Amino acid sequence: MSSAVHGFTDDALGTLDAVGVAAALRAGEVSRAEVLAAAIARTRRVDPSLDAVQLSCFDRATSAPETAGVFAGVPAFVKDNTDIAGLPSCHGSAAFTPHAATVTSGPGAQFLYSGVIVLGKSTLPEFGLTASTEFTHRPPTRNPWNPEYSAGASSGGSAALVAAGAVPIAHANDGGGSIRIPAAANGLVGLKTTRNRLLDQPGARKLPVHLVAEGVLTRSVRDTAHYLAAVERFGANPTLAPVGLVEGPSARRLRIGLITADVLGRPVHPDNAAILDSAATVLGGFGHEIIETRLDVDPRFIEDFKLYWAVMAAAMTLSFRLGHREHFDARKLDPFTTGLIGLAKRNPFGSAAAAWRLRGGTATYDKHFAEFDVLLTPVLSHPAPRIGELAPGQPFDALFAKLVDYVGFTPLNNVGGGPGISVPHGLLPAGLPGSVQLAARRGDERTLLDLAYQLEGASPFPRIVDRPAAAGAA
C-alpha cells in the first residue's frame, strides 16, 4: 500500500478547517501572512506528488488586499473552469492557450464573496467531462490517500489539495457528480445544491437541461454549512427559501429510503455496500426509520444522459473553437472528448429525444420523496479506481462503460435538480476513505446538513494525518 501524501504539520494552519482558520485570524492567534505562507509551503510540498495545481498565483495572493466574509483570509484554490479576473482558465484542455480573464464570472465572484484568498487554479479533466482527473497531455491528478489511485473528477484537483491539507477549502462544481465523486474518493464533504440555489456558469440556465451546480469541497460539515449560509445571499434566488446557517443536527426523526442498487438496478461493490450498511446503522441509531427501497427511473436514463452529455461536449468544444479561432487545435483534444463529439454528431435526433425525456427528470426525482424525507445511497458503485483505469486515451465505448459502472448514483440529482451531499464514512481497503450520499427534496439542503452532522458526530471522519505519509510529503 502506498503512503499518503499530505502537508499537515505544526504551522499556522495545523489541522484546522476553514471555520477554524478564519476564527484564528479574527482572534489574532495567527496572521494572514503566516496562514498564506503555510498554505503555499504545503502546496509546494505535496503538488509534485499529486499534480493537482493547474496554475499558481502565490505572489498575487500574498499581495492581495484584505478581504471580508465568513472565510476572510483563508487560502483556497479555484477550479480551472471558472474565470477569475487576471487569471487564465484552461478547462483541462491542451487544445488552446487561454488568455487571462478580463472579468470574474458569477460563480467566481460568489466564491470570492466568502473572503477566501485564491492561491491558484486546480486541475480538472478536459472540460470536466469524465470521472477521473487524467489527461493525455500531462500527468494525472492523484489521490493523496494513496497516489496509486484516482482523485475522482471533475473537481479532482480541488479535492486532492483539500484532502492533502494544502488548503482547507476549494471551489468545485457538479454536472453529474463532479463535487460528490471527488469528495467520496478523497474523504471530503461535498454538497451539490438545489438547481439555481447558487449562481451558475454563463449560459447554464439556457440549456435544455440545466445540470451544473456550484459549491466547495471541505473537510468538515460546518465548513460546508457556513459557506452555503454566506454565499446564498450573493445573488440570492427569490424562488428558494434560504437555507440559513445549520450549526448542528436537529432532533427530527426522518423516514430514510436506503438505496443499494444503482439506476440500472445493479448492486454495488461489497466494500461500498458495507460502508452504506454501516452508515444506515448509525442513522438508525438516532431514531430515523430506515427502509430499503429502489430508484424508480426510466430504463433509458443512462443512455439519455450519455447522449445529452455528448451534446454538451460538442457544444463546449464549439464554443472554445469559436472563441480561440486559429489558436484552437482540435488535434490536441483528448480522445474521450472527440468520442463524445462523434456520438453527438451520429445521433442528432436521438440526442433531441434524450434531452426531452431528461427534462422530465425533475418529476422523476420528486416522486422518490412522496414516501421518504431523504435517500441514503452510495456515492460510487465501487472504490476509486487505480490511475489509468479511466484514462481518456482508451477506446471510447470501453471507457464509457467503465464510467457507468463507477458512477451509478450521482447524475439523478443533476437531472432532477435536487440537493445531494457526499459524507465521509469509514475506510475502504487500499487505505482509501469510504463515503455515502444523502439526497433530499429540492430546496432541502438543511435536512442533508442535519444528517451529515449526525454522521460526523457519531463516526468521526477518517483523517489522512493518521495514515503513514510519504517521505518528504509531511
Distance separating alpha carbons of residues 28 and 276, to the nearest angstrom: 42
Give 336's DSSP letter.
H
Check: CB of residue 352 under 8 Å from CB of residue 358.
no
What are the grid coordinates assigned to 423, written together?
459524507
Q: Name, in order, each residue with C-beta under 8 angstroms of 318's C-beta and a sequence gap of 6 or more.
A: none
Question: Where in the sequence numbering do the catalytic residues fall?
Answer: 79, 154, 178
What are the grid coordinates assigned to 195, written together?
438547481
How many CA atoms lie within 13 Å of 69's alpha carbon, on the beta-carbon side?
26
- Helix, strand, coil proportions of the chain in percent (round to 5)? 40, 15, 45
Distance separating alpha carbons of residues 461 and 466, to the nearest angstrom: 11
Check: CB of residue 392 under 8 Å from CB of residue 313.
no
Q: Name, in order, each residue with C-beta under 8 angstroms of 25's C-beta and a sequence gap of 6 or more.
A: 31, 32, 35, 72, 73, 74
Question: Hey, what amino acid is at 341?
Answer: I
Residue 299 class from Cβ within 10 Å (0-12 exposed, 13-18 middle, 19+ buried)? exposed
Q: Which conformational region is residue 276 in: left (phi greater than 0), alpha (psi within -120 to 50 degrees), or beta? A: alpha
Question: Hey, what amino acid is at 448?
Answer: L
Distance separating alpha carbons of residues 180 and 174, to the nearest angstrom: 8
Check: CB of residue 130 under 8 Å from CB of residue 338.
no
Helices (H), 51-151: 58-62, 106-113
Q: Name, in order, each residue with C-beta under 8 angstroms of 388's C-beta and a sequence gap of 6 or more.
A: 134, 140
Give all strands (DSSP E) within 57-201, no chain letters: 75-79, 117-122, 169-174, 189-192
